Amino acid sequence: MNIGIASERAGLPPKTIRYYEDIGLLRPARTDNGYRDYSAADIHRLRFLQRARSLGFSVDECRQLLSLYHDRNRESADVKAIAEAKLAEIDRKIAELASLRHVMRHLIEHCSGDERPDCPIIDELAGEGMVQ
Amino acid sequence: MNIGIASERAGLPPKTIRYYEDIGLLRPARTDNGYRDYSAADIHRLRFLQRARSLGFSVDECRQLLSLYHDRNRESADVKAIAEAKLAEIDRKIAELASLRHVMRHLIEHCSGDERPDCPIIDELAGEGMVQ
DNA sequence: GCTTGACCTTCCAGTTACTGGAACCCTTAG
DNA sequence: CTAAGGGTTCCAGTAACTGGAAGGTCAAGC
């Protein structure tokens, strides 16, 4: 199976698939003309990657998850630990964004948004603002 | 004022301050020995940058905000538009993270997290899972 | 006067996870 | 025979820094 078809099946652009190969995440066969030749197992692996990436796992975490996936002796605790760390990270990011949102809302609410130059958003950034 | 002191006052690492100069965000004077020499206005500018960056504005947005800051004829509506776009972006990110969080929680809750190899997290990533 | 340490300089490379583009090869239909 | 639409490699660029090497400067202590 050529890379174009593999791309459709896996839901990843060809460039990304080649990149994953570059960094050692998979190693498809080659046909006589030098084209990459993807097996069903390769597609499975690519879809695994696509799903894990879309869940916010870094490429390096995907590498770990893949090796756990292929490890017949893995303990589910190992996988759970990675997932829990990721959840904690998501929570941290949400909290940070929520706090940013709060400040932004506050600033926007107090800005008249008209043709006059006075602007509490600019004042705040300049350190003459209302927050603190 | 040397870069070390400027760094303390602005709350930015020296490396970052030099980087901001590289990309044209400020242009401090130089002393005879070639050291950068920061004025009070430079520090003000750096603090502006520090605040805007920590509010999630990109370096390019900071550039726009700085030029609006120095524009005596600006309209507060211009600033408000940038801030509102940023708020919308923050909302999008929060929504995306919330949905990730939901899936992760679900997966983690169903994983025994013990020494057994069975793991719904891995199953899900492999496409044999419970979600969908 | 000399050394030592803290500071400063520039420049190059690396990070993350791709993406764009150039130059070129292969296959197939008309 | 040619053109379109695959495929290949390799190089460079993205965002916003960060680390590190090699070397200049300055102030203090002996």
Which residues of chain B have a CB within 8 Å of the CB of A112? 76
d(CA B45, CA A38): 54
Does A86 contact chain B (CB < 8 Å)?
yes
CA distances for B39 relative to B26, B28, B45, B71, angstroms = 11, 7, 10, 20
**Within 13 Å of residue B24, how many CA atoms lie on the same side as its CB?**
4
pLDDT band at A131 (very low <50, low <70, confident <90, very high): low
Nucleotides of D under 7 A from a protein CB: 6-9, 15-19, 25-26
The C-alpha angle B83, B87, B92, rounded to 5 degrees, equals 150
Task: Please answer whether residues B20 and B27 qualify as being in contact, where contact means their C-beta atoms are separated by less than 8 angstroms.
Answer: no
Q: Which of residues 11-50 of B touch A (CB under 8 A)?
A: 44, 47-48
Structure confidence at residue A59 (pLDDT): 95
CB contact (8 A) between residue B76 and residue A47: no
Structure confidence at residue B70 (pLDDT): 86
- Range picked from A3-12, A52-61, B88-97, B108-117 for highest mean pLDDT: A3-12
Structure confidence at residue A106 (pLDDT): 87
pLDDT tens digit string along A21-50?
999 999 999 999 999 999 999 999 999 999
Does A51 contact chain B (CB < 8 Å)?
yes
User: What's the DSSP call for residue B117?
Assistant: S
Tokens, residue A90 = 């998501």
Residue B90's nearest CA partner among A102, A90, A108 is A102
Does B131 contact chain A (CB < 8 Å)?
no
Nucleotide C20: nearest residue by CA–C1'?
A15
CB contact (8 A) between residue A126 and residue B93: no
Q: Calculate mean pLDDT across residues B15-22.
A: 96
pLDDT band at B23 (very low <50, low <70, confident <90, very high): very high
Q: Is the pTM of this model over 0.85?
A: no
CB contact (8 A) between residue A121 and residue B76: yes
Tokens, residue B49 = 């940058």
Q: Calculate mean pLDDT across residues A65-87.
A: 87
Which residues of chain B have a CB within 8 Å of the CB of A80? 108, 111, 113, 119, 121
Q: Which among A75, A83, A111 is the nearest to B115, CB-wise? A: A75
pLDDT tens digit string along B56-113?
889 999 998 888 888 888 888 888 998 898 899 889 989 888 888 888 898 898 888 8
Q: Choose the mutation target among A80, A118, A124 for the interface with B, i.e. most B CBs under 10 Å.
A: A80
